[in-house]
Amino acid sequence: MSFLLSWVLPILIFIGIGQFMSRRLMDRAGGPNSMSFNMGKSNAKVYVKSSDGIKFSDVEGVDEAEESLAEIVDYLHDPSKYKDIGASMPKGVLLVGPPGTGKTMLAKAVAGEANVPFFSISGSEFVEMFVGMGASKVRDLFKQAKEKAPCIVFIDEIDAIGQKRNSGAMGGNDEREQTLNQLLTEMDGFEGNTGVIILAATNRPESLDPALTRPGRFDRRVPVELPDLKGREAILKVHAKKIRVADDVDFNRIARMASGASGAELANIVNEAALRAVRDGRKFANQADLEESIEVVIAGYQKKNAILTDQEKKTVAYHEIGHALVAALQTNSAPVQKITIVPRTSGALGYTMQVEEGNHYLMTKEEIENKIATYAGGRAAEEIAIGAISTGASNDIEQATKLARAMITRYGMSSEFGMVALETVSNQYLGGDASLACSAETQTKVDQLVVELVKRQYEKARQILLENRDALDHLSQYLYEKETITGDEFMRILRETGEHTDL
């Protein structure tokens, strides 16, 4: 009897408590068929049509992508006119482009425009620690979608589950591959998924599995690139509606100054302008707020507690005027917009802003060489005027070297190698990782050519500054006193030297 009390009874009590707890958990998770307490269920968000959602009219600067998606929305609204001619809509649309260009916003605009259910889920939400759970979530998502067809399924950052399979040779993630295999089957398997259109977004399209990007799965690839001048102006105006701005703001000028900015960065520029207006105690943002906010996004806030010595300030002034003079005295160079020697939180002690007059898609060999010479102008000015060189040219050296190497290895602008690609670029939307594809001997030759090219452009910059020494000294002294000057002031003083009345 004592044996039963001391051993059997505690075991029976623990078994009873375990069964009681498991029933409670199953009840909360939805019953015994809940795939291990709901882990196999898709947690996609379902959106219905609403009057206050994002519409295509709220999205600017991506007209071509918007047109492709508007066609899909039109098909969902009225499929008969497409079926009459025998046309069928793409099963999948892949949105590709750099971060911040509006891929997810375009998907939200489709949800706002479509009269059909819209499922939204991130690629990372399919990844689970238990094997088989990701594939189960894919099955559950498509089961829900087929029940509500016609509908749209949006998978953000699809590269989280859609990366190329490695056949297990390197010990690949079996769970991720099972999830991908299930997605491939659901998109174009024996059963089919008529009425379900898949939208997906990624900024790493080259990493996706070829079986996922083939026609029949993602039939249409829609690039969502950085906006051009007209697009940037339209995006600025859209975001400016959310804040109070002065009536005389020149959005075209702001758009030109923000060359290369994404939609997200332009939204940040407008918001920074509003914050600056509040800090100054004003009720609205003006032109100066927007221009300053561009500098904040590019170079950071002004470091008001950073005090340069007189010698450092003089060196930085000569350095920046060196850049500006070389740029202004070369053909095919972007006009100088602003020069400042006020330190910034990014670490820059000063910078020279150049602004293109319009869209600039191609660069000639001469333009790239001029750009390298402009980068070299700062160091050359220090050497000529101060008689010593400083660490301030580190970023200039890096940028000049990158351009020189690209001319030889990617752009075919060297007589030694001609039109031979010696370098490959991956992750083009995430900064572009370059890797040389040549022998060690060729790499050594490339290094020699890069050094020769940069040295040649440095000597050209040095010669320009020596020929215009009076202008260099006069402008540097003026910048030293004022700390910030505009491009118009710079050109006026340069003309007043009497040496370049044709400028």
- The 10s digit of each residue's pLDDT in 159-183 is 988 888 875 555 455 778 888 888 8
Helix axes 287-299, 263-279, angle to 10 degrees: 120
Residue 13 pLDDT exceeds 70: yes
Mean pLDDT, residues 374-403: 93
Amino acid 30: pLDDT: 43
Amino acid 428: pLDDT: 79
- The 10s digit of each residue's pLDDT in 34-46 is 444 455 566 666 6
Give residue 23's pLDDT band: very low, low, confident or very high (50, 70, 90). Answer: low
Q: Among 22-31, 124-133, 155-164, whose mean pLDDT is lowest?
A: 22-31
- The 10s digit of each residue's pLDDT in 258-311 is 888 899 999 999 999 999 999 999 999 999 999 989 888 877 777 767 778 889
Please, what are the domains in the chain?
27-166+176-223 (3.40.50.300), 229-299 (1.10.8.60), 310-496 (1.20.58.760)
Catalytic residue among 113, 125, 175, 320: 320
Mean pLDDT, residues 221-231: 91
Concerning whether 320 is annotated as a catalytic residue, the answer is yes
Torsion sign, CA atoms 456, 460, 465, 466? positive
Amino acid 360: pLDDT: 76
* Summary mean pLDDT of the chain: 84
Give residue 403's pLDDT band: very low, low, confident or very high (50, 70, 90). Answer: very high
Rounded-to-integer distance, Cα 166 and Cα 244, Å = 53
Rounded-to-integer distance, Cα 18 and Cα 481, Å = 80
Count the Cβ atoms, other than its own, within 10 Å of residue 374.
28
Helix axes 63-77, 103-113, angle to 10 degrees: 30
Residue 368 pLDDT exceeds 70: yes
Residue 461 pLDDT exceeds 70: yes
Rounded-to-integer distance, Cα 307 and Cα 339, Å = 18
Amino acid 502: pLDDT: 47
What is the distance of C-alpha 94 from the center of its chain? Answer: 17
Amino acid 429: pLDDT: 80
Please name which of 43, 41, 69 lies closest in space to residue 54, comparing C-alpha atoms.
69
Share of the chain above pLDDT 70, in %: 86
